[in-house]
Structure 1
C-alpha cells in the first residue's frame, strides 16, 4: 500500500499547501487533518497548541505516513521541535520554506510578515529570515481577523475587502517589497491582500516552496511514490464536515470525501 504524506492544520488553511503538493507531486497520496473545531490556533497558549498538534500527529500515525507536514504557521512556530523528537519520520513545517521564498524574492531586503497572534509573537519568521540574511529588515503584523474569516468560507464575500483592509492598515506605506503570508489561510484572500498592498508588493505563500522541499526530502531518501500511481486522498476534520467539504472542493477543484473526527479537548493545566 502506498504510504501517504500526512498534512495537518488548525483548519482549512493547509489546503493551500495540499493544492500545491497535488500539483507538483500528483503521484503522492495525501492524508489531511483540519482541526476546524478548535480553530484558530493563533490566540491559544503555546502549550495548548503543542498538545493539540501532538494529538493530531498521534491520530495520523494510525495511517503509517512516510512524512508529516505541519501546514500551520502557529503550530510550526511552537510545536515542530517537539514533533520531530516524537516521531521517527521526516517532519516539515511551513516557516523555513516561506522565509527562503521571501529571501529569493526581495530586492530591497525589507520584508513584511502577516500572521496569527501566536506566529507573530513567536518571532519565528524574523529568526528564520535573519538566519539566512542577518541584515534583513522585517515589519510584522498580527492579523487575527483573517483566519476565522476564511474558516467561515467567506473569503470570496464582498466584506473580505473591508476585513483585509482593516487588518493590513499598519503595513500600508511601509517600504516593503514583499509580504509573507505567514498563515496558510491567507492565500485564500490573495486578491484582497494584493488590492490593499498594491502590485509593487510581491505576496509570498510558503505553499510552493514547501511542496518543493517535500519533493527534495522524499527524493533524497528514496521515498517518492512510483510514477503512474493514482492516489486516493483522505480528508478528516474535527468540526463541521459539510462546511469543510465545501471549502476544500472549491479550493482543490475536485470532489473529496470527508470524515469527521470527534474527541474530547484535553484540559490544560
Structure 2
C-alpha cells in the first residue's frame, strides 16, 4: 500500500445519510481529503436481501479502492450490519472502520450504568449487530433496541423540529426510556440531525451517542496509529459520487452536510 498520506479517505453509504459522517470528519480532520460514494440509484438497502447488499457493497468497495483511498469508512448501518466482512475481505492492507463498531465502542466506554438504548432502522435493529458488538466488548451491559422506521423520511422531509416528529420520537423512545437507559445510540446516520429534538425527549440524564461523531473519532485515532494522517502539504478536497439523481442528492445532502456540495459526479452501473 502507498505511504502517501495525502491520499483520500473513502466514505460510502446506500444514499445520503452518510454525509453526517463526512460532516463530522470535516470538523475532526480538516486536513483530510474525502471521496464520498452514495448509491442513490439503489437506495434503500434495508428491504434488499443479504446477498444483494453484499454484492452492492463489493462493487462500491472496489470503486473506492480504485480511487487509491488510504482508509475505508462504512457509513451505512445496514452495510455495516450485514456486509462488513465483504469490505474487510477486499480492502487488503487498507484500514476499514464502520459506524456500528464506532458507536458500540463509544457506548460501552461512556455508559455509566451499563444500560444502553439503541435506535435504528428495522434492518439494523433486526440484525442485532449493535447488541452483539457491545456484548463482545462488555458481557455485562444491557442493551435495549428500538426500530424507528419513520425517522428517515421525516429527516429527509426536513421536519427536524416538527410536532409530528416530536410525537413520533416520544412514541419510539417510550419503551427504551422505561428501561432507565443511561445512554442512547443513534444507530442511523440520518439521526444526528434529530439530536436537539431527541435530547429534549430523552432528557438530560441520557447521553446521546452520535455514530457520526464517534466514527470520526475512531478514524482520527486509526490514522494516527497507522501513520496515515495528512500532514497538510496538499489541501483538503471533497468529491461526491452518486449513482442517480444528483439534484435531489444535492438538495438533501447540503442540509446534511451543512455546506455546499459543489460539483457532484454521477456514475452509471
Shorter-chain TM-score above 0.5: yes
Q: Deviations over 1:227-269 (max 9, x none)?
A: 25321200122333223223333333332224253545xxxxx
The structural deviation recorded for 1:158 is 4.8
Distance 1:152 1:10, change over 3 A: farther
Alpha-carbon distance between aligned partners in 2 of 1:61 and 1:203, rounded to the nearest angstrom: 33
Name 1:75's counterpart in structure 2: 79
C-alpha displacement of 1:156: 5.0
- Specify every segment of 5 or more residues in structure 2 that has no aligned partner in the other structure, as ranges: none
Partner in structure 1 of residue 222 of structure 2: 217
1:93 alignment partner in structure 2 = 98
Give RMSD over aligned pairs: 2.1
1:28 is displaced (CA, Å) by 0.4
The C-alpha deviation readout for 1:64-93, integer Å capped at 9, x for no partner, is 111110011111111111111112211111
Partner of residue 36 from structure 1, selected from 28, 36, 40: 40
Asked if 1 retains the 8 angstrom alpha-carbon contact of 2:161 and 2:197, the reply is no
The aligned residue for residue 108 of structure 1 is 113
- CA distance in 2 between counterparts of 1:147 and 1:49 reads 19
TM-score normalised to structure 2 length: 0.89
Alpha-carbon shift at residue 157 of structure 1 (Å): 4.7
In structure 2, the CA distance between the partners of 1:44 and 1:199, relative to structure 1 (3 Å rule), is farther
Aligned to 2:140: 135
Q: Paired residue for 2:31?
A: 27
SS in 2 for 1:216: helix
Give the whole-Å Cα distance in 1 for the aligned partners of 2:263 and 2:174: 37
**8 Å contact kept, 1:241–1:258:** no
Runs of 4+ with deviation above 6 angstroms = none
Kept in 1: contact 2:57–2:86 (CA 8 A): no
- What TM-score does the superposition give when structure 1 sets the normalisation length? 0.89
2: CA distance, partners of 1:31 / 1:3: 10
Given the alignment of the two structures, is residue 7 of structure 1 paired with residue 15 of structure 2, yes or no? no
> Gaps spanning 5+ residues in structure 1: where?
265-269
SS of 2:143's partner is strand
1:71 and 1:59 map into 2 onto residues whose CA distance is: 16
Residue 22 of structure 2 aligns with which residue? 18
Picking from 36, 39, 49, the partner of 2:53 is 49
Q: Is the 8 A contact 1:36 1:151 kept in 2?
A: no
Aligned residue-pair number: 264
Output the CA distance in 2 between the equivalents of 1:23 and 1:68: 18
User: For residues 145-198 of structure 1, what are the alpha-carbon distances to aligned partners after superposition, in whole Å with 9 as ceiling and x for unaligned?
Assistant: 222333344435553223333433432422101110111111111122222222
Q: Which residue of 1 aligns with 2:209?
A: 204
Give SS of 2:40's match.
coil
- Conserved? CA contact 2:10–2:72, under 8 Å: yes
**Partners in 1 of 2:244 and 2:152 — Cα distance?**
15
